[in-house]
Amino acid sequence: MKNYLKISLRALLITIGLTLINCILLVLSFCLPTGIMREHVAESVPLIDSEEMYLRWDWGYTTTQVDGQSEYNIYGMAINEDSEGSAIEKAMFLWYPDGEDMPRDDAIAAYARHDDVHFDYRTYTRYWNGSVMFLKLLLLLFSIQDIRMINFFIQITLLLVIIWLMAKQNMDKFILPFIAGILFINPFTMVLSVKYSAEYYPMLFCILIILLLGEKIEDVFGGWEILFAITGAITSFFSMLSFPGIALGIPILFVLWKRKEKNAFATVIRLSAFWGVSYGVTWSMKWVIGTCTTSYNFLGDAISQMFKYQGNNTVTATPIERFMRTLWCIYNPVYVMYFLIMCVLVVAFTLVLVNKTDCNGANNLGDAVGFSKLLVAYTVIALIPFFIIFVLGNGYAYVHAYMAHRHYAISVTAVLCIISMVSEKIKGFLSNKK
């Protein structure tokens, strides 16, 4: 018990310290000159004009939709040079230009071109939007289309490196479930969106750290808990509440695959708790810091907005309707067919190519108790999306189903792992019978 208290205290201090450092970096980014950033967005106006607000690269699929409203909010925060106040006030309030009776994309394009348009300056006080500081740095050198291509190169490279490391570390049987989960996140949509990438990158980098430094993390006191606390803090700082749970659910699966441990259920609960508390602490620190450093009551405003946003003022829907609306985004012939094909491939791979039980908890697959514990742990992971969607309410899940559905990538990956485990169990049983 004392050990967990020490680990919890260390994780809390690291979370607070990391958030303060990120806050300072965000403030410093608002000291950068915005003129050149504005010019680079102006260069991208033909691109902006060619796309609709809620861009879909395939109009038949909600999974390909980008949240253009929030996306151009972020670009507006990055290039805004007309709002008054100190750098810390700009970092806390995150003003962006809003043209009267203009869609947000058109307003940002007009602002970038210095059009003679009246702009109001609105604030975004609930979220950190830490991605603004990276966007500012990129806009010093690149246009929007350049940033998308950079995103493409980095994200695809990271995915290929992860798959290579999985193969190198004898995680072959988990490659198919991982690929399926990534495709349900839809990596090509991530490329188009700064907002989406801000939650996708923490997941990818956490996985890389698990694969590259797993043994060293194991030797550090509270290493895994600290890693997930750090991941929760970073995700929260950059998150705009699109689908942050992927930075929890999928890395936890990698921990189970890496550790091959008995007590998987306790690990899932423990790491989820550290990630969740860190996420919440980081999120709420903006309200405290903003209230202390400005004359505005960020804390009071955030609480009032939270109840308004999550309440039934937005839409009235039961939890079942909420789940169905988010599931509907992936309930179509192509996604269902792909999932069924992956189920068949996972079973075939397990029965034909796996010669010995070396998957997560491999030594326990012949042990009914050990197997049941693993089954429960994977089931809990598969239920994480449903928990998130239930807790965050209609304002998040029902209204923003086109974003929230990506949490089900966790369920897809976990269910395919369960199918692999059961297949291997059956294979072992049949081999013993012979």
Q: What is the pLDDT of residues 144-153, one digit of tens each?
A: 999 999 999 9
Average pLDDT over residues 205-222: 91
Q: What is the pLDDT of residue 276?
A: 97
Same structural domain, 219 and 299: yes
pLDDT computed for residue 363 by the predictor: 42
- Of 123-127, 208-212, 295-299, 356-360, the range with the lowest mean pLDDT is 356-360
| pLDDT over 60 at 311, yes or no | no
Same domain, 285 and 237: yes
195 with 132, same domain?
Answer: no
| Pair 82, 226 in one domain | no
Q: Are residues 156 and 179 in the same domain?
A: yes
- The one-letter amino acid at 394: N
Mean pLDDT of 391-419: 93
If asked whether residues 221 and 289 sit together in one domain, one would say: yes
Q: What is the pLDDT of residue 161?
A: 98
Sole residue written with tokens 């929230």: 404
pLDDT of residue 310: 53
**What local confidence, expressed as pLDDT, does residue 360 receive?**
43
Q: Are residues 256 and 392 in the same domain?
A: yes
Lowest mean pLDDT segment, chosen from 284-293, 319-328, 369-378: 369-378
SS3 call for 113: coil
Same domain, 175 and 77: no
Domain span holding position 200: 146-433
| Domain's final residue, options 110, 139, 168 | 139
Section 92-97 average pLDDT: 94
Question: 40: which residues sit within 8 A by CB, 6+ positions away?
Answer: 139, 140, 141, 142, 143, 144
Task: Give pLDDT, residue 354.
Answer: 65
132 and 154 both lie in a single domain? no
Say yes or no: 150 and 92 in one domain.
no
Q: What is the pLDDT of residue 51?
A: 92
Looking at 139, 160, 186, the residue that finishes a domain is 139
Q: Which residues contact 255 (CB under 8 A, 6 or more apart)?
A: 210, 224, 267, 271
Are 313 and 393 found together in one domain?
Answer: yes
Alpha carbon distance 117, 98 (integer Å): 10
CB proximity list for 135: less than 8 A, separation 6 or greater: 74, 75, 78, 147, 194
Task: Say whether pLDDT at 359 is over 50.
Answer: no
Q: Residue 357: pLDDT band by 50, 70, 90 thresholds?
A: very low
Task: Identify the band that residue 352 occupies on the pLDDT scale cut at 50, 70 and 90.
Answer: confident
How many Cβ atoms from other residues are within 10 Å of residue 276's Cβ? 17
Residue 434 has pLDDT above 90, yes or no: no
When pLDDT is cut at 50, 70 and 90, the band that residue 361 belongs to is very low
Q: Which residues of 32-61 are buried (b: 16+ CB within 10 A; e: fewer)?
A: eebeebbebbbebbeebeeeeeebbeeeeb
Reply yes or no on whether the pLDDT at 383 is more than 70: yes
Which of 75, 109, 139 represents a domain boundary (last residue)?
Answer: 139
Task: Write the pLDDT tens digit of every residue in 260-301.
Answer: 766 889 999 999 999 999 999 999 999 999 999 998 998 888
* pTM listed for this prediction: 0.92
Task: Determine the pLDDT at residue 168.
Answer: 94
Total domains in the chain come to: 2
Give the mean model confidence (pLDDT) for residues 210-214.
94
Lowest-confidence pick of 11-25, 209-223, 252-266, 420-434 = 420-434
| Nearest-angstrom CA–CA distance, 104 and 241 | 19
Length of the chain: 434
The whole-chain average pLDDT of the chain stands at 90
Which range among 64-73, 304-313, 359-368 has the greatest average pLDDT?
A: 64-73
What backbone phi and psi angles, to 5 degrees, belong to 334?
Answer: -70, -50
Report the sign of the C-alpha dihedral through residues 198, 204, 209, 210, in that order.
positive
| pLDDT band (50, 70, 90) for residue 33 | very high
Q: Are residues 112 and 20 in the same domain?
A: yes
Residue 37 has pLDDT above 50, yes or no: yes
| pLDDT at residue 395, as a whole number | 82
Please tell me the distance from the alpha carbon of residue 267 to that of residue 382, in angstroms, as a whole number. 15
- Residue with the larger pLDDT of the pair 431 and 265: 265
